[in-house]
Amino acid sequence: MALVQTDSKQFGLKDDMRITFTDVAYKLGVSVQVVHRAAKEGKLENVTFVGQGGYGADTLYNNETTISAVKKWRAGVRKYTRKPVTTATISIKSKKRKAA
């Protein structure tokens, strides 16, 4: 009996291979909660929810999707770039304290 290995030759494209939500979050540089929220809201397609409830250390399986679905989801997301603060004004007002 031989072990079954997943290889990119099994699929039509490399983008059709399954990938876990944790790997997606790591590759995109976002938190896992962002990927979960997109999947729950229906923005992320080809999602397989598996596993059990409870604490994270007790989870036996991972939620999965495909790379092509991730690319399609990220194409519709507006890019956010944080603008650096160029000027900051700090004002310190001295307040007179009343004698106790």
Q: Are 89 and 98 spatial neighbours (Cβ–Cβ below 8 Å)?
A: no
- Whether 4 has a pLDDT exceeding 60, the answer reads no
pTM across the whole model: 0.60
Percent of all residues in the chain with a pLDDT value above 90, rounded to a whole number: 21
pLDDT in tens, 10-30: 666 778 888 889 899 999 888
Confidence of residue 63 (pLDDT cuts 50, 70, 90): confident
What is the reported pLDDT for 1? 45
Give the DSSP per-residue string, 46-73. Answer: S-B--S-SS-GGG--S--EEEHHHHHHH
| 13-75 has CATH 1.10.1660 classification | yes
Per domain, the residue ranges of the chain are 13-75
Least confident of 46-50, 64-68, 80-84: 80-84
Rounded CA separation 92/98 (Å): 18
Q: Summarize pLDDT for 39-52 with one digit per residue, the tens.
A: 999 999 889 887 66
Residue 53 confidence (pLDDT): 57
